[in-house]
């Protein structure tokens, strides 16, 4: 292993100083990617929910003009409070 000492020294320097810094950068990048994904996912889900609300409003408008015997029908959408947190993006700093 003659002449290997400079390489061993370099390896140890990277292991002891550079590697921890890279690990922290990787961890930060991962947290940021997860945050962006969650925000994007929640935004898309909210778009779909709003689209569904608009569709139900259109259906209800049409149903107002239709009678089923003496009955009329409509759809309603209610938010379940216990499910509200599902579509909230956790804010991290």
Cα–Cα distance between 84 and 37 in angstroms, integer?
Answer: 19
Task: Say what the pTM is.
Answer: 0.55
Cα–Cα distance between 52 and 49 in angstroms, integer?
Answer: 5
pLDDT of residue 87: 60
pLDDT of residue 86: 67
The DSSP call for residue 73 is -
Cα–Cα distance between 56 and 28 in angstroms, integer?
Answer: 42
pLDDT of residue 93: 41
pLDDT of residue 88: 62
- For the chain, list residues with pLDDT below 70: 86-93
Compute how many other C-beta atoms are within 10 angstroms of the C-beta atom of residue 68: 8
**What helix, strand, coil percent values describe the chain, rounded to 5?**
70, 0, 25
């Amino acid at each position: 292993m003659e002449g290997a000492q400079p390489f061993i020294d370099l390896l140890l320097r990277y292991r002891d100083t550079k590697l921890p810094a890279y690990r922290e950068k990787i961890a930060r990048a991962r947290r940021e990617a997860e945050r962006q994904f969650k925000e994007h996912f929640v935004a898309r889900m909210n778009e779909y929910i709003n689209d569904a609300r608009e569709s139900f409003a259109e259906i209800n408008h049409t149903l107002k003009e239709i009678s089923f015997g003496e009955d009329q029908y409509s759809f309603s959408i209610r938010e379940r409070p216990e499910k509200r947190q599902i579509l909230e993006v956790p804010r991290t700093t």
